[in-house]
Amino acid sequence: MSVSALGPARAAEVFRRTGVTPCLATVLVGADPASVTYVKMKRNRCAKAGIRFRHVELPAETTTGELVAAITAITALSVDPGVHGILLQHPVGPHIDERAAFEAIAPAKDVDGVTMASFAAMGFGLPGFVSCTPGGIMRLLDAYDVGLSGKRAVVVGRSAILGKPAGLLLLGRDATVTYCHSRTTDLSSVVREADVLVAAVGRPNFIKGQDIKPGAVVIDAGYNAGTTGDVDFASAAERASLITPVPGGVGPMTIAVLLAQTVEAAERLLDV
């Protein structure tokens, strides 16, 4: 599914009806090369989707309080009604309380789906914004007509913005979900039972093809040094019916969902 299917037509319609262009604001702390690259990718995709892009750069020594204040300044509608979505590029550095920074984002502008309000909405199946990578995974599964009801889904990873919400979204589709992680006892035996496997543990080639159930659908959401995923692609591809590559699989869908949710946020805030 392409960005063009998710963004430009709706963004143009918002402008036609309100005279306002949907706007995404990103916040970057420091100059980590990978994070800088990700922000540039988002800027380029926003331009193609007809979404205005605003970027806030903060020095690496920024404190938690300073970051929260910066986010709060662009969160409040009374301060900047022209910003409809906010994304804090993470990670932000070990000296910053990332959760406190996330919670400074107003739920109505949390288009990256990182706040506790968004997590609760995903868990209860209520209206809100999903975490972008899990949301992209669900769109991929839908695009390839992967049935989930009654299927055994295994999520390897438990981060608050990837593993945990991915499991919640799969559960919401009536899959039977098992969470695993790097410390799971006899992980291989659990992975072998998966009809749908989501790898999000952050360890290169952590899951081997010999542990993939024949015919399973494998979603590799890992991204490690050297553009390597969490799944050993070559060996897993011999057994999986569908498998995502790294790069080029989940990553583009993550940005696509971010843009789609930015437009949706604008629609809600502008009452379109």
Residues contacting residue 186 through CB under 8 Å, at least 6 positions apart:
none
223 belongs to a structural domain: yes
140-151 per-position pLDDT tens digit:
999 999 999 999
171-195 per-position pLDDT tens digit:
999 999 999 998 999 999 999 999 9
126 belongs to a structural domain: no
75-133 per-position pLDDT tens digit:
876 677 889 999 999 889 999 999 999 999 999 999 999 999 999 999 999 999 999 99
Q: Is residue 224 located within the same domain as residue 160?
A: yes
Range of the domain at 235: 132-246
pLDDT band at 28; cut points 50, 70, 90:
very high
Q: Is residue 152 located within the same domain as residue 195?
A: yes
CATH value at residue 99: 3.40.50.10860
Q: Is residue 219 located within the same domain as residue 185?
A: yes
Q: Is residue 14 located within the same domain as residue 100?
A: yes
In this prediction, residues 250-269 reach a mean pLDDT of: 95
Q: What is the pLDDT of residue 77?
A: 60
Instruction: Count structural domains, the chain.
Output: 2
Q: Is residue 102 located within the same domain as residue 155?
A: no
122 belongs to a structural domain: no
177 belongs to a structural domain: yes
Active site residues: 42, 89, 112
Beta carbons of 51 and 14 less than 8 angstroms apart: no
pLDDT band at 6; cut points 50, 70, 90:
low
102 belongs to a structural domain: yes
> Is the pLDDT assigned to residue 214 strictly greater than 70?
yes
Measured CA to CA, the distance from residue 107 to residue 187 in angstroms comes to: 36
47-62 per-position pLDDT tens digit:
999 999 999 999 999 9
- C-alpha gyration radius of the chain: 19
Tell me, rounded to whole angstroms, the distance of Cα 84 from its chain centroid: 18
Beta carbons of 21 and 15 less than 8 angstroms apart: yes
212 belongs to a structural domain: yes
CATH value at residue 224: 3.40.50.720
pLDDT band at 225; cut points 50, 70, 90:
confident
Return mean pLDDT, the chain: 93
120 belongs to a structural domain: no
In this prediction, residues 239-247 reach a mean pLDDT of: 97
Q: Is residue 138 located within the same domain as residue 226?
A: yes
Q: Is residue 147 located within the same domain as residue 242?
A: yes
Q: Is residue 67 located within the same domain as residue 154?
A: no
Q: Is residue 231 located within the same domain as residue 185?
A: yes
Q: Is residue 158 located within the same domain as residue 196?
A: yes
Measured CA to CA, the distance from residue 110 to residue 118 in angstroms comes to: 8
Measured CA to CA, the distance from residue 228 to residue 247 in angstroms comes to: 8
259 belongs to a structural domain: yes
Q: What is the pLDDT of residue 182?
A: 84
Q: Is residue 76 located within the same domain as residue 19?
A: yes
C-alpha distances in angstroms, 265 versus 42, 84, 159, 216?
Answer: 17, 6, 25, 35
For residue 260, what is the enclosing H or E element?
Answer: helix 250-269
Q: Is residue 97 located within the same domain as residue 140?
A: no
